[in-house]
């Protein structure tokens, strides 16, 4: 999985590309989010548009990242989950846990509320 980070004020947008699966993508996701929180970044927007597949380890890591954000008084939101990934979020009812957006500008503004 490939990761690119962009900063817009206090919000870090993390563009993810590839698969979030056990042993690779989940580890990259964990390390990326942990590093951001260790650096003092508290508002993270995960752009899932480039994620083609996510297994149960990926789902588990998303939940763990959400918990880490809350523990650090931060916020983690999702942007553009693709068809299969969005279906998985709905199936597991995680679409009710995560704030999810289809428009980056709207997502970025939501951190100001």
Query: How far is the C-alpha of 98 from the C-alpha of 78, rounded, in Å?
Result: 7
Q: What is the residue range of 13's domain?
A: 2-110
CATH number of the domain that residue 64 is part of: 3.30.750.24
> Maximum Cα–Cα distance for the chain, whole Å?
36
Q: How many domains is the chain built from? A: 1
Query: How far is the C-alpha of 58 from the C-alpha of 19, rounded, in Å?
Result: 9
Q: Which pLDDT score, from 0 to 100, does residue 83 have?
A: 86
Burial class (CB in 10 A: 0-12, 13-18, 19+), 110: middle
Q: Which residues of the chain have pLDDT under 70?
A: none
Burial class (CB in 10 A: 0-12, 13-18, 19+), 86: middle
pTM: 0.94
Distance separating the N- and C-terminal Cα atoms of the chain: 31
Q: Which pLDDT score, from 0 to 100, does residue 24 have?
A: 82
């Amino acid at each position: 999985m490939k990761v690119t980070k962009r900063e817009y004020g206090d919000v870090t947008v993390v563009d993810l590309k590839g698969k979030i699966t056990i042993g690779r993508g989940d580890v990259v996701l964990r390390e990326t989010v942990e590093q951001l929180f260790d650096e003092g970044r508290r508002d993270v927007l995960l752009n899932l548009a480039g994620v083609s597949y996510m297994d149960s380890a990926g789902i588990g890591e998303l939940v763990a990242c959400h918990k880490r954000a809350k523990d650090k008084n931060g916020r983690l939101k999702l942007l553009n989950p693709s068809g299969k990934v969005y279906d998985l979020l709905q199936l597991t009812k995680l679409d009710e846990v995560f704030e999810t957006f289809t428009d980056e500008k709207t997502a970025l503004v939501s951190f100001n509320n």
